[in-house]
Amino acid sequence: MRVVLQQLTKRFGAVTAVDALDLEIKSGEFVGLLGPSGCGKTTTLLMIAGIYRPTGGAIVFGDHRVEHLMPKDRGIGMVFQSYALYPHMTVAQNIGFPLAMRRGVAGDEITRRVREAAALVHVDGLLARKPAQLSGGQQQRVALARALVKRPDILLLDEPLSNLDARLRHEMRGEIKRLQKEVGITAIFVTHDQLEALTMADRVALMSDARLQAYATPKELYERPVNQFVAEFIGSPPMNFFAAELGRRNGSVLATAQGIEIELPPARAPRGDGQRQATVGIRPEHLAIVAPGAGHANGEIYVIEPMGREQIVDVQIGERRLRAIAPPGFSAPLGASVGLRAAVDQLHLFDPAGGERLA
């Protein structure tokens, strides 16, 4: 079922938690609400769930507005950050609770559907246990089964992976993504972890300070961030930024900063002549370490962090430091002079004033 948010707003007293949010989620789509803590993403989810009443705006499920409906009448299933399993009930009772709350679902029908939902997330062997007897990953699966057992139109997940350890997080990431596609349910999840958002979601809504910053596929967010906030937030290690002067030489645009000079390809140069200054962004993987003088900038090695598959190399250039990624074989003493070459077609230019993308 499609979900549309129109000018959705939530204020708590003087604080605006969500400010005029517009978002459209297609039927069957898996959308991640991503942003730093306090950006309003969980508030948005709780408004969709019906826990919070919006201060303004509309929430549309399918063709119907639902802002006035109680959570139980919205056809949603939800997984909470703490999983919120009922501690005094067994796993089977937990999963069956949404069905027991419905009128006219027979006992054996409940038993059958609880088994079905439990099998879907591989907890059918744990039905007699209490939540306290389960591991974090098992609790997570039970919470998923409980959310799905009444066959809701929409699945909501609040920070579904944040309480799991790193290994389990990786496993559940894939599991949830597979499950969402298998069931074919429209799903929205909240996360502060960009890796989760990028790996799981079909589209990511990036929020900050109560506002929507970008809404795009992970690929678009990564490869063509619409503003500097998006560019900064997405990617690990984060993108390098430096302020540069824009000038022209022989018909092409030149970005220069202390110790750096890059000729921009036409596709990446801002249109028109007006722009004199820009914030240049480049991801570490698009900077290569070369011999001194052979690249766009020269500097000294500040520190090397081996990551196994690759190494992160910080290079000091004048007063600023740029981060590059080198292959595992790379080795150099600290302080060694090196050159940096940028993949010029991967440069991002942002307006220093508003942070909007220039080209």
Partner 1 sequence: MTGTTLPAPRAPFRPQTLIPYAVLVLATLPILVLYVWLTYSSFFPRIEGFRPVGPFTLENWRFLWDPGSVDQLRNKPAIIPLTINTFLFAISTSVVVVLISSMAGYALSRLPFPGRRMFLGGVLLLHSFPSVTLLIATFIVLRQLGLYDRLLGVILVKAAFELPFGVWIMKGFFDTVPWELEMAALVDGASRLRTWWRIVMPLVKPGLLALGILTFVQGWNEFILPFVFMPSGSQQTLSTFVRAILGEGRFVDYGLLTAVGLYYVAPVLVLFVVAQDQLMRVYAGGVKG
- Out of 53, 64, 65, 88, the residue judged to bind partner 1 by CB under 8 A: 88
- Specify the 3-state DSSP secondary structure of 351: coil
For residue 80, state whether it binds partner 1 (rule: CB under 8 A).
Answer: yes
- Amino acid, single-letter form, for residue 121: V
Shortest distance, position 13 Cβ to partner 1, whole Å: 11
Question: What does the per-residue mask of binding to partner 1 show for 47-66, with x meaning CB under 8 A?
Answer: --xxx---------------
Please give the Cα distance from 178 to 149 (Å, whole number): 17
CB-CB contact of 289 with 338 (8 Å): yes
Which CB sits closer to partner 1, 74 or 203?
A: 74
The label of the residue with tokens 């250039």 reads 317
Q: Which of residues 96-155 bind partner 1 (CB under 8 A)?
A: 97-98, 101-102, 130-132, 146, 150
Lookup: tokens for 192: 């502060």
Name the residue among 239, 229, 255, 47 with its Cα closest to residue 154. 47
- Out of 31, 39, 46, 185, the residue judged to bind partner 1 by CB under 8 A: 46
Lookup: tokens for 346: 């991967």
Shortest distance, position 169 Cβ to partner 1, whole Å: 20
Q: Which of residues 4-23 bind partner 1 (CB under 8 A)?
A: none
Q: Which of residues 161-200 bind partner 1 (CB under 8 A)?
A: none
For residue 160, state whether it binds partner 1 (rule: CB under 8 A).
Answer: no
Shortest distance, position 171 Cβ to partner 1, whole Å: 23
DSSP state of 284: G
Handedness of CA 126, 129, 135, 138 (dihedral sign): positive
Shortest distance, position 81 Cβ to partner 1, whole Å: 7
Name the residue among 257, 205, 148 with its Cα closest to residue 3. 205
For residue 86, state whether it binds partner 1 (rule: CB under 8 A).
Answer: yes
The label of the residue with tokens 């009443």 reads 53
DSSP state of 87: T
Angle in degrees, 0-180, between the axes of helices 136-148 and 107-120, rounded to the nearest 10: 130
Which CB sits closer to partner 1, 51 or 294?
A: 51
Q: Under the rule (CB under 8 A), what is the footprint of partner 1? A: 46, 49-51, 70-72, 76-78, 80-82, 84, 86-88, 97-98, 101-102, 130-132, 146, 150, 156
